Amino acid sequence: MAHSDNPIPGESGAQREARIRDLFKKLDVKKQGQLDREALKQGFRRINHPLQNAESFIDNVMRAADLNDDGVIEARSPY
């Protein structure tokens, strides 16, 4: 069986991108198209994520999504 980077079985690449874009829009409280660490925390509080206060969770998300390591997660495309 081939390895997939998609955690949801049967989800197409386009569906995954749409899901990520929708989540980013929900997290982007300031509607700036980018999230620094504090904005990410505010976004998780906004959607009442169960790990919203877990610093290690926030750190892991930043490490995984901050592609150029500048402390900011940018939207992949305008929304």
68: in domain: yes
**pLDDT the model gives residue 70:** 96
**pLDDT the model gives residue 62:** 95
Q: Which residue from 11, 27, 13, 18 is spatially nearest to 61, judged by alpha carbons?
A: 27
**pLDDT the model gives residue 3:** 42
44: in domain: yes
47: in domain: yes
63: in domain: yes
Domain that holds residue 65: 30-79
17: in domain: no
3: in domain: no
4: in domain: no
pLDDT means over runs of 10, the chain (79 residues) = 64 91 93 94 94 92 94 82
- Total domains in the chain come to 1
pTM check: above 0.85:
no
CB 62 within 8 A of CB 73: yes
**pLDDT the model gives residue 76:** 76
